[in-house]
Structure 1
């Protein structure tokens, strides 16, 4: 029996792996921080017997509530992922699985590889409406890539989307894949209409270093990028620094920052209610955006989510808060579940990369309905 994680986004430490009925593992912390929750490993074993895999340090992970009612994902071909029986006793996360083939992958959520990221941005650049820009490099020397879709013109709005500040939230880049695919579909009326009214600046992966390293929440040196927006630096958070500099150059009329939530089994948004400049106009834009999403997809809801900030009490180091306040614009954090959408459950796959991509396509419709009112 062999267990390995020496691959893109791999993360696991083997404590004991001699008996299939008692495999003991632990998740490695993000480099330079105490955050950990993301795991991704491969089990190779020719025996067709029940395997009991215990992640022994789950009880001290970053978001322990995330393990309640959680089911891990597995795949034989790295394309099709399914949920496997998983329990949590307060300390150990136990995965039970009887392999049908010699080798099987397990992960916290359906991975989105760095190679797929490269395919996404380079296939997009082939479209006549798309330009692939490199803003600079990360601490590990990877490109900070930006897709500019559409052309500037008088009266056109500037719409920004950023995703995967927290690298373990892979559903965010699946969302972006669906969003980009629809936006570049010349036969889609919503997309064609939007590109007549707006220019899009899209960062499908804000944290490529953490993604490759198998981190949950931080960049190469353990910095949580979504707490860096008020004062980013090339030394600690070049990812945010480069994006904010570009935002200052282009201006921002709307910003969506795409994330995943470990604990809540719903799709929801978090707005700018606590920003000092928040007013009735801002509230009306937020409400309009949510109303459209509620009307077009049962995957979205607005009853469950984060507590709203008190007036003037927003944390302006957070991306959507900083953008909303700096540019006085509609800015939302969009959250998707690691578990499932409890309002529309799929017991085989739970919430998935494919469902995230469809949700990304739906969000394009919501933008279309508010774009003319952004300024």
Structure 2
């Protein structure tokens, strides 16, 4: 293929010093013209070399056919071209003293000598490098673990590519645990390296394939792992010189702080430090909440994790959960903030995480064995005392905790967890937690509620769940992610751990809000017109007699006009644990007549359904929808899980953007825009809009560039959209 390019030659008559005409440097990687005119001859001869590769062994040579001289644009043809010398005669008059541009047309040609040179060079390189490749094998000297969360006792070379490892074990009364995380710094490319753990912990089996990464971001399992003479071996042939290797997917303290800083750009996310570790590291507490919804209309979940540093899997689940809740993960997660607040302490034992410990803190203490049952915090390590104090401050400050979850990971080949035993708590408490576990199993394919174990003094004392039950009566569980594989035999991946974020969110929702306004088939609705009212409750522990169909009672109440009606919900089939009223409760937009079997409501009024578990009042819950009266909306328009379709265009935008949304029924709409610090920069107070697609223009000409969040509330629905302003 022909190649056209331009080169600038400035010709001047030779001087005594032998100046020649020259061309300025070309861009790297572009063809370059080099003249070779005699310093004493007029310009009748042009030399050239075309360089289109920085590697001299793969350059292409070209035959120069013609060029165009400026300023007269004369075309000069060349002949008698010699590729090796790069010289061609000009069929032109003397152009001495002229400055001109060359427009060159070249035809590529490979020379036989160039090809031979290239082949010889490759052969020489192979011959010279073979001994280097053969002898540059991995030894213990190539390993290091002096980085955040890195851990190893010692490493010695048994032979090239065979390394003996001694773990730094945490010994808990003979129950040993061994987190390891190290790096091969060099020489791993193409090598099949075998590692032998001489002091495996009591839980390691041939299924414990470590994770490996070439970049510290993307991880894969070692290809082989086996037991022999009570030593654990693993081997892999690596495709890069340096490799990170860990017992499980690392998630460091620095990773967590970077994540929290990113999430804090949302107006629904904030975090603070509640205390320090033994070595003075700050312990973060994240709050995820919609400040626009009153606290007394929501329930609250507290979650803590990483009391044991090596138990990294739930940290990925919490990452996904936190992202989902502010709208940066799976769609729909942010809707939970309409009825739930979250308080999350993602890392408790931060010294242990940073310094590469397994189960203990830097004092050698297992933090989940020293929780006290009062506010004296006697005998608690600084990490536990800080977290315990934050929980007490929240409760004694008049706030609620409806569910507490302590997240762990374990070497078992399946997910499970602990709940307080029936003897430590009481039967209704125990059965109610069974309902939560069944919800978890429905939402999470990795869970089997029957694998969960009882927790009491026979297992251990000083566990957080025991302490908070004794002190505050809290409903709590301790979940255990498998750090190796699931019960179906599939190995964990980061993706599978992240996917559980949504599964836990749905389980909290189903457990804490067991009742929903639905249609007669059980599909959720979000407002009531003149259609009959149905309520569905899911409470598995209310199925007290598997041989009969049972029933429960809910109270329906309007917010403003005070009408109250009772509904009897009947079990949909024997042992289902799902209850719904057989006959719909009719609404009327009329004067109130309490307990007449008709719910009298006002337009755009909230209607509440309240359910009290007669066995376990702590399981009491409520939900609400809006009642809407409009001649333009009929029962067939009742939406199932409606969305507001909030968006803006253009995005990113410069000064002005149109915020579009769709509302399913006439409603009061409130729009608020926050900056990344959570400050309100623009708002439109409640304004009545008709049903259908709507648009609001935002003129941000007086607002600086940045990321902004738009929150729209229409009736009982709300949505958030991120917008980018660029000027």
Same fold (TM > 0.5): yes
Kindly indicate whether the alpha-carbon contact (under 8 Å) linking 1:276 and 1:325 is maintained by their aligned counterparts in 2.
Answer: no
Q: Residues 127 and 90 (structure 1 numbering): CA distance in 2 closer, same or farther, change over 3 Å?
A: farther
**For 1:191-247, what per-residue CA distance to the aligned partner results, in whole angstroms no more than 9, with x for missing partners?**
344322232110011111100111110112111111121268588511111111111
Is 1:253 paired with 2:402? yes
Secondary structure of 1:136's aligned partner: strand
Could you say which residue in structure 2 is the equivalent of 1:153?
A: 295
How many angstroms apart in 2 are the aligned matches of 1:87 and 1:259? 26
Query: Stretches of 4+ moved more than 6 A in 1?
Result: 31-34, 186-189
- Offset at 1:46? 2.1
How many angstroms apart in 2 are the aligned matches of 1:40 and 1:234? 34
How many angstroms apart in 2 are the aligned matches of 1:273 and 1:32? 23
Kindly indicate whether the alpha-carbon contact (under 8 Å) linking 2:308 and 2:360 is maintained by their aligned counterparts in 1.
Answer: yes
- Structure 1 unpaired stretches of 5+: none
Structure number with higher helix proportion? 1
How many angstroms apart in 2 are the aligned matches of 1:275 and 1:163? 26
Higher RCO (CA < 8 A, seq sep 6+): 1
Secondary structure of 1:131's aligned partner: strand
- Offset at 1:324? 3.2
Could you say which residue in structure 2 is the equivalent of 1:97?
A: 236
Could you say which residue in structure 2 is the equivalent of 1:57?
A: 199
Q: Residues 132 and 218 (structure 1 numbering): CA distance in 2 closer, same or farther, change over 3 Å?
A: same
How many angstroms apart in 2 are the aligned matches of 1:208 and 1:166? 9
Q: Which moved more, 1:187-196 or 1:167-176?
A: 187-196
Could you say which residue in structure 2 is the equivalent of 1:9?
A: 149
Secondary structure of 1:169's aligned partner: coil
Kindly indicate whether the alpha-carbon contact (under 8 Å) linking 2:171 and 2:177 is maintained by their aligned counterparts in 1.
Answer: no
Q: Residues 296 and 145 (structure 1 numbering): CA distance in 2 closer, same or farther, change over 3 Å?
A: same
Secondary structure of 2:434's aligned partner: helix
How many angstroms apart in 2 are the aligned matches of 1:371 and 1:172? 21
- Offset at 1:328? 2.1
1:75 aligns with one of 184, 200, 213: 213
Q: Residues 267 and 230 (structure 1 numbering): CA distance in 2 closer, same or farther, change over 3 Å?
A: same
Q: Which moved more, 1:20-29 or 1:76-85?
A: 20-29
Could you say which residue in structure 2 is the equivalent of 1:323?
A: 468
How many angstroms apart in 1 are the aligned matches of 2:149 and 2:237? 24
1:206 aligns with one of 348, 351, 376: 348
Pairing 1:203-242 to 2, within 5 Å after superposition:
203-230=345-372, 233=377, 237-242=381-386
Structure number with higher strand proportion? 2
Pairing 1:278-297 to 2, within 5 Å after superposition:
278-280=426-428, 282-297=429-444
Pairing 1:121-136 to 2, within 5 Å after superposition:
121-136=260-275
Is 1:271 paired with 2:419? yes
Q: Which moved more, 1:353-362 or 1:1-10?
A: 353-362
How many angstroms apart in 2 are the aligned matches of 1:31 and 1:301? 30
Q: Which moved more, 1:204-213 or 1:323-332?
A: 323-332
- Structure 2 unpaired stretches of 5+: 1-138, 396-400, 515-618, 621-727
**For 1:25-76, what per-residue CA distance to the aligned partner results, in whole angstroms no more than 9, with x for missing partners?**
1111359998541000111342523211111111xx2xx1332422111111
Is 1:243 paired with 2:387? yes
1:299 aligns with one of 446, 451, 457: 446
**For 1:81-140, what per-residue CA distance to the aligned partner results, in whole angstroms no more than 9, with x for missing partners?**
111111123531111111111011111001002221111211222211122111011111
Is 1:332 paired with 2:509? no
- Offset at 1:10? 0.6
- Offset at 1:274? 4.9
How many angstroms apart in 1 are the aligned matches of 2:418 and 2:198? 33
Q: Could you tell me the TM-score, scaled by structure 2's length?
A: 0.47
How many angstroms apart in 1 are the aligned matches of 2:310 and 2:381? 17
Q: Which moved more, 1:88-97 or 1:160-169?
A: 88-97
Kindly indicate whether the alpha-carbon contact (under 8 Å) linking 2:303 and 2:344 is maintained by their aligned counterparts in 1.
Answer: yes
Q: Could you tell me the TM-score, scaled by structure 1's length?
A: 0.88
- Offset at 1:297? 2.6
Could you say which residue in structure 1 is the equivalent of 2:506?
A: 365
How many angstroms apart in 1 are the aligned matches of 2:235 and 2:328? 46
Secondary structure of 1:159's aligned partner: strand
Pairing 1:12-23 to 2, within 5 Å after superposition:
12-17=152-157, 19-23=159-163
How many angstroms apart in 1 are the aligned matches of 2:392 and 2:207? 42
Equivalenced residues, count: 363
1:138 aligns with one of 277, 280, 286: 277
1:43 aligns with one of 150, 174, 184: 184
Kindly indicate whether the alpha-carbon contact (under 8 Å) linking 1:257 and 1:332 is maintained by their aligned counterparts in 2.
Answer: yes
Q: Which has the larger radius of gyration?
A: 2
How many angstroms apart in 1 are the aligned matches of 2:420 and 2:459? 7
Kindly indicate whether the alpha-carbon contact (under 8 Å) linking 2:324 and 2:334 is maintained by their aligned counterparts in 1.
Answer: no
